[in-house]
Amino acid sequence: MFINGEWTDASTSAHFDVINPATGEVIGSMPDGNGTDAEAAIAAADAAFADWSATTAFKRADMLMDAWRIMNDRAAELAELMVTEQGKPLKAARFEVGYAADFIRWFAEEGRRLSGEWLPSGRPDQRFLSVRQPVGVVAAVTPWNYPISMLTRKMAPALAAGCTMVLKPAEATPLCAKATFDVFTEAGIPPGVINMVTAADPRPIGEVFTSDPRVRKLTFTGSTAVGRTLAAAAGGSLQRVSVELGGHAPFIVFPDADPENAAKGAAALKFLNAGQACISPNRLYVHRDAADAFINMLTKRVSGLVTGNGMDDGVGLGPLVNNAAVEKVSAQVEDARAKGAGVPIGGQRLTENGLDHGFFYAPTVLTDVTPEMTVYREETFGPVAPVVVYDDVDQVIELANDTHYGLAAYVYTDSMKTAIKAFEALRFGIIGINDVNPTSASVPFGGMKDSGLGREGGHEGLDEYLETKVAGISLR
């Protein structure tokens, strides 16, 4: 773990193994921390806050720019570590490291532009000054599916704002977190400003994060169930909370769209990171007149995917995170199959050609999917593309909105009118219009309803770590 500028063991000296999901092999171990370790990390962050928050925004930005340069210099080794620990193909890992670095650069630049404003008064002898200041110690909990970029998306704005931080990375990917901390420390971030507690069981850490009065903000990315628990507990301490949670994205192909082009986009997005992305499309709505062309092209694209170890040439689909994830995907597919869904491709765990030691599931297309199937209602987080055929264009938006999630949605159409009306009517925080990559460090990322609170990235991403303070100044 990393506490007050030093790599240290857990207070109990316990460790847990880190597993390569493609091979099942142990690739390392990390300290198995507990609540006592979390308290020590919070104490270090609290002690460092006064000096760090008083450091000029320009100096903080300079350190972040150094971190950006170091991360870019180490992109190759960081990507290879990510493949080994998380499983995604090397090309995708390289892309993620670049995306992670983008957040550092963006918030370094945003941090230089922190400003306040003079506000008018009804009294001629009075002035108001409004400024924004760092909220304080931040507790962050990050996921395993994007084990570097989800760190920088929280760390960079927190540091740029002048906050100090304690991180609990996902238990499946702590080595990537350690490598990321190395980048920041070598960029000159002072002791105590960033701290990390690793643990096989995150619950004791979360309990401390949400109850310690020194923690003034909690930021979490992960499942809706855990996010609800943490946000509810944080309410007891009146902590600021931002949570980026699950999704169940609709992918709507309108009748005027090219169904084959839409299918190519759906295939590229759905099987990214083996479907383990919160913005992954989970319900592909295709008009009946275009269904055959869409399904044929989607199946063709999926048939060309090579599943395997992400370090191997040509692999486009890596493993799932663990055996429980494979079992969840399998259960949803079998439920759909039993209720009448077609499975033109995939539909089984992969164990041949050396894949039996890892957590692999075949890229799968489901057809004739109906609302009675579990896959229609619940997030899959795996390589399964459920196709839903619709007839009524006027009702497809209603079908898409029929979920308690509200993170991402996708629309394919050649009509600007249809695109704008769909954008306005869909109750989701991120809409891709003929675009399967509607994200960037420079734009806000987040959802509605059970998909979370707050935004990361863009101008809003910095605001999440700032408090507003107002001074009333008498001129008498």
* Residues marked as catalytic: 244, 278
Measured distance CA(167)–CA(206) in Å, rounded: 11
Measured distance CA(253)–CA(244) in Å, rounded: 26
Name beta bridge partners: 412: 253
Query: In the structure encoding, which two tokens stand for residue 354, read together?
Result: 């050396």
Measured distance CA(241)–CA(246) in Å, rounded: 16
Is 244 within 8 Å of 445 (Cβ atoms)?
yes
- Burial grade of 311 (CB within 10 A; 0-12, 13-18, 19 or more): middle
Spatial CB neighbours of 281, under 8 Å, sequence gap ≥ 6? 249, 250, 251, 266, 269, 270, 385, 408, 410
Other C-beta atoms lying within 10 Å of the C-beta of residue 76? 12
